[in-house]
Amino acid sequence: MKKIKILAESDEMIVNKIKEKIKIKSSRPSENPLEDYFYNNDKKYIDKWEHYFNIYHKHFKKFRNNEVTVLEFGVFKGGSLQMWKDYFGKKARIIGVDINPECEKLTENQIEVYIGDQENRAFLKSLMKKIGPVDVVIEDGGHQMKQQIHTFEEVFPNVKQGGVFLIEDLHTSYRETYGGGLKKKEHLLNMLKT
């Protein structure tokens, strides 16, 4: 019993430290509107690595306030879809894909959500026929090797000239729990190297 209480207190301390860090960050102006949105977000939960915001902004800023189609795999709680909507502006079409049917409820003005398994090539082909060419793809789905590889192979040909296909969490290529592994030949990073 004592260990559980210690862990609970420890978790609370960690949460308070994170909240304090966020409070400090959000009080400082940033040159990155995505980072500002993330730290000042009081809407739906967003799960992103902090170091991604500069990468996103560097590669996505040319699409802001233009007609743009953004496709994100991995909707989770829907916060990132709202972040993209805010970032890309009123002319943006934001499309989310997730395997969880509950995510369909996250559809709103400028945001469409499709439910399907990104490992399923037939689903991916059907999706691309429905939505047409895209400017930006953010692959943040299940991180399993077959999911990442099939998504890249089926979606990349539909990215417009000058578009961006950004794959998050590439470290999973080296983790066996995701179907990868350091000495495995068939993981996403090896496929991209060829």
Place of tokens 């999911």: 147
* Beta-bridge partners for 166: 138
CB 167 within 8 A of CB 139: yes
CB 121 within 8 A of CB 136: no
Neighbours of 154 (CB within 10 A): 19
CB 133 within 8 A of CB 159: yes
E runs forming strands in 2-110: 68-73, 92-98
E runs forming strands in the chain: 68-73, 92-98, 111-115, 134-139, 159-167
Instruction: Report the catalytic residues.
Output: 143
* Beta-bridge partners for 93: 69
CB 165 within 8 A of CB 192: no
Q: How far apart are CA 124 and CA 135, in angstroms?
A: 16
